[in-house]
Amino acid sequence: MKSLRAGMPVSRLALGAALLVAVQVGVLHVLGQPFLPLDGHLKLWEREVFSPRMSQELTDWYSLSHIIHGFGFFWLLRLILPSLPMGTRLLIAMGLEVGWEIAEHTPMVIQAYRQQATAAGYKGDSIVNPLSDTVMMVAGFLFAAAVRARYVIALAIGFEIFTAVMIRDGLLLNIIGFVAPSKALNDWQAGAQH
């Protein structure tokens, strides 16, 4: 396969993706995030949202929100940059995701997250978790590129309902809790501990 939907050679796409991942790892390391969970034992999945291992393992409940990021980035970039090859748009989406993962680990954002009930003791992620989140975003982007929009929208809504029921959080609730914190939302989310 010479290109991803024509326009960009796969070797250039792979090099661009590798550089973005290298930047992500390097900056998260400089910000003081450990590569693996502090005990050195990496699990595939962390299910307990109030566990100190949340955001330390390879995947967790929030992995679903990163798939939704991919859906959104695909549609946004197709809308505003339709003439760019899909490989180029994918690299831009990766850059956006990597940028968010870096911003998420700045002291200001970590402190803002700590105000939410589901992230009360949050110290940031192990580096493997944001790397996995970036892979999840890529999977969501490629899924959105391959599947009819109505199915992608249904899946995104399903993910949001599922995580809201299971952990009282999700992408939309996380955004609301971050940009417009409310005592009612915080109290409801804190009730998931019981």
pLDDT of residue 194: 54
pLDDT of residue 120: 66
60's enclosing H/E stretch is: strand 59-60
* pLDDT band, residue 2 (cuts 50/70/90): very low
**Domain residue spans of the chain:** 65-194
- Residues 152-178 pLDDT 10s: 999 999 999 999 999 998 999 888 887
- What the block records as the tokens of 108 is 């200001």
Beta bridge partners of 45: 59
Would you say the C-alpha torsion 50, 51, 54, 58 has a positive or negative sign? negative
Cα dihedral 127/131/132/135 (nearest 10) = 180
Q: Give 73-89 as a 3 state SS string.
A: HHHHHHHHCCCCCHHHH
Residue bearing the bigger pLDDT, 162 or 49 = 162
pLDDT of residue 5: 52
